[in-house]
């Protein structure tokens, strides 16, 4: 596999940054992550929008224009030759002179084989553990996953997939996904604030609002007890049913019908996007 470091394609093993980068010294940096299929990134514009927005919010300048970054990403995918996989963009605080102040950011583009989760996560559903925590700058995709990673041993010993964060009584998101529930009166609900505005969340809201009642608002922990269904959304998880939260059984304890319909509709939406957005551009992408 090859990566891109500051505009140059290099073998993954030789893709290095100096240890003086603010990302290493202080954990200061942002990233984004998206999938590609048939050499074509999924929901590409939305991920690029979020990447540039995250950079701006953290006062980091992306050293390339959108057109140039797009070219680098497509060139990397073509150079690696795999039809599908994942792409991670990382923008760091740069080589700091005083150990604290950002400087010119470094930009790394990394490619991975297509990620996946065990089939049972979708057929059986997953469990979550609630945890009081608010990400420091929730609407920015920072590289800081300190709490989630610190809690991995507890998560693993309890057989849970992710932490479900809450700020006081309000549910926000999970460690690496957005959270949805289906109420007793069949309304799809997802938290409005203190979250990363997930690209998958956005697609799911768009799909669901055509077919059912949808509310984007504060969601309290108390609402978990009465919900019929719950699920997570994320770029690699897609739409993943949640069947347990702490000791609570969600709904029937099985992936519910609304979740299953949304899982299918999201798969269709991805397929339609790839057909529509990149129609006739395949040969150009492969260079």
User: Residue numbers of the site for ligand PLP (CB under 6 A)?
Assistant: 173, 176-178, 196, 198-201, 233-235
Cβ contact 134:165 at 8 Å: yes
Closer CB to ligand PLP, 21 or 173, in the complex? 173
Closer CB to ligand PLP, 136 or 226, in the complex? 136
Residue 237 CB, shortest distance to ligand PLP, in Å, is 8
Task: Compute the distance between CA of residue 176 and CA of residue 194 in angstroms, rounded to an integer.
Answer: 14
- Residue 136 corresponds to which tokens in the numbers above? 């420091």
Task: Compute the distance between CA of residue 196 and CA of residue 175 in angstroms, rounded to an integer.
Answer: 10
Task: Compute the distance between CA of residue 88 and CA of residue 112 in angstroms, rounded to an integer.
Answer: 8
DSSP state of 227: -
Task: From 89, 77, 149, 145, select the one nearest 114 (Cα to Cα).
Answer: 77
Which residue number places its CB atom closest to ligand PLP?
198
Residue 209 CB, shortest distance to ligand PLP, in Å, is 17
Residue 34 CB, shortest distance to ligand PLP, in Å, is 8
Closer CB to ligand PLP, 50 or 127, in the complex? 50
Locate tokens 């939305």: which residue? Answer: 46
Locate tokens 């800081």: which residue? Answer: 144
Task: Compute the distance between CA of residue 183 and CA of residue 189 in angstroms, rounded to an integer.
Answer: 7
Q: In what order do the strands lie in the sheet with 40-41?
A: 8-11, 2-5, 107-113, 85-92, 29-37, 40-41
Closer CB to ligand PLP, 234 or 241, in the complex? 234
Burial class (CB in 10 A: 0-12, 13-18, 19+), 223: middle
Closer CB to ligand PLP, 3 or 51, in the complex? 51
Residue 164 CB, shortest distance to ligand PLP, in Å, is 11
Locate tokens 């240890």: which residue? Answer: 19
Residue 11 CB, shortest distance to ligand PLP, in Å, is 26
Residue 31 CB, shortest distance to ligand PLP, in Å, is 9
Closer CB to ligand PLP, 173 or 229, in the complex? 173
Closer CB to ligand PLP, 95 or 197, in the complex? 197
Residue 206 CB, shortest distance to ligand PLP, in Å, is 13
């Amino acid at each position: 596999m090859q990566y891109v470091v500051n505009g140059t394609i290099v073998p993954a093993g030789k893709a290095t940054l100096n240890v003086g980068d603010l990302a290493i010294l202080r954990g200061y940096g942002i990233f984004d992550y998206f999938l590609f299929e048939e050499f074509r990134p999924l929901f590409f514009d939305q991920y690029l929008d979020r990447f540039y927005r995250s950079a701006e919010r953290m006062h980091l300048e992306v050293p390339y224009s959108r057109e140039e970054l797009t070219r680098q990403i497509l060139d990397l995918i073509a150079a690696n030759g795999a039809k599908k996989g994942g792409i991670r963009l990382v923008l760091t605080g740069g080589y700091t002179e005083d150990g604290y102040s950002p400087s010119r950011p470094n930009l790394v583009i990394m490619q991975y084989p297509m990620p996946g989760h065990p089939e049972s996560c979708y057929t059986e559903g997953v469990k979550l553990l609630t945890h009081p925590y608010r990400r420091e700058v929730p609407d920015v995709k920072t590289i800081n996953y300190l709490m989630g990673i610190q809690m991995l041993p507890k998560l693993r010993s309890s057989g849970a997939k992710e932490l479900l964060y809450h700020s006081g009584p309000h549910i926000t998101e999970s460690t690496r996904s957005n959270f949805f529930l289906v109420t007793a009166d069949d309304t799809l609900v997802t938290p409005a604030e203190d979250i990363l505005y997930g690209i998958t969340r956005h697609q799911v809201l768009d799909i669901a609002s055509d077919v059912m009642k949808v509310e984007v608002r504060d969601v309290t922990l108390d609402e978990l007890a009465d919900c019929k269904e719950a699920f997570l959304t994320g770029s690699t998880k897609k739409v993943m049913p949640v069947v347990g939260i702490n000791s609570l059984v969600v709904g029937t304890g099985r992936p519910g019908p609304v979740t299953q319909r949304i899982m299918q509709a999201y798969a269709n939406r991805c397929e339609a996007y790839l057909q529509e957005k990149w129609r006739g551009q395949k040969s150009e992408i492969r260079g």
